[in-house]
Amino acid sequence: MERERNEVYERIPWETLERKGGDRQWWMIAVAGAIVLGGLAYSFMSNRPIPLEPTAGVVSTVAAQAVGTVPPPPIPTPSSPTVVAEADLYAIDPERLLDQATAHAEWFVAEYIGVDGSEESSATLGSLLPAGIPAPAAPESTRVFVEWVRAVSVEEIAPLRYRIGVLVRSLVAQGEEAYRRLPPMLATVEVNVAESGPRIVLPPTLSPLTPPEQEPLTLAQVPAEVQEAATTASGATEVLGGLQDAAGGWQVVVVAPGPDGVSRPTTVNVP
């Protein structure tokens, strides 16, 4: 019995090992396959896009913030338009304010002196006069045509208030008679530049013009060839004399007819 036991323990049971080794090999193949399949499944699941749905708490928070962070439109506070407008006027170039006042004064004087009997002209003048001042009243047959107006002086007597002197020349006619020219007058007007534009403060002051003193003029005798050149150039009927300049040229004063047929004294330059 001892011999048989030794032979059993000393001999290697190859057939047993080969059979058991085959089973282990299949187990290892199965485990490896499971690992590979699990890896493929994990890779497939990790690459799929997962839709993210915001939770109710997030939605309510965003909505609350959107409502809470939008401020209501500001309510404008009333302010004094006069104060703002005056500040804006003071910021304007003084020359522009002066031009506005001057142009308004010239317009007013033209409407104030002119008379054509129309309701439109009367309404225009009434809108330019200060409140409560009536428009001028003229006889029914009187017509006054304003030939020209021109501002000749401007004085700022207060902030945004100007005293302006306007020369005006007009022609008048009664009934069917022809127009006759009146001497020029000086109309002194006070204009206030307000936020709504220039306005007349008072009715104008009208005063006659005093002709200025004459400038003394002494004319020299003009050489014959210079007289001939001046007469040829102007068609003069008379040579009154002339002044010679430093370069040797002449300013010759002659009496010559104009395009209207009226002979007037005029100056002809002869080099």
Cα–chain-centroid distance for residue 104?
Answer: 20
pLDDT on residue 195:
86
pLDDT for 133-144, tens place per residue?
999 999 989 999
**Range ranked top by mean pLDDT from 27-31, 59-63, 261-265:** 261-265
Domain ranges in the chain are 82-208, 224-270
Tell me the per-residue pLDDT of 89-119, one tens digit each, with 9 for 90 and over.
Answer: 554 667 899 999 999 999 999 999 999 999 9
Average pLDDT, the chain: 81
Its CATH class, for the domain covering 82-208, is alpha beta
Helix locations, the chain, DSSP H: 2-10, 14-47, 56-69, 81-91, 94-113, 119-128, 224-234
- Residue 138: other Cβ atoms inside 10 A: 14
CA distance 134 to 136: 7
What is the C-alpha to C-alpha distance for residues 217 and 191, in angstroms, rounded to an integer? 40
Residue 215 phi, psi dihedral angles, 5° rounding: -80, 125
Which of residues 174 and 2 earns the better pLDDT score?
A: 174
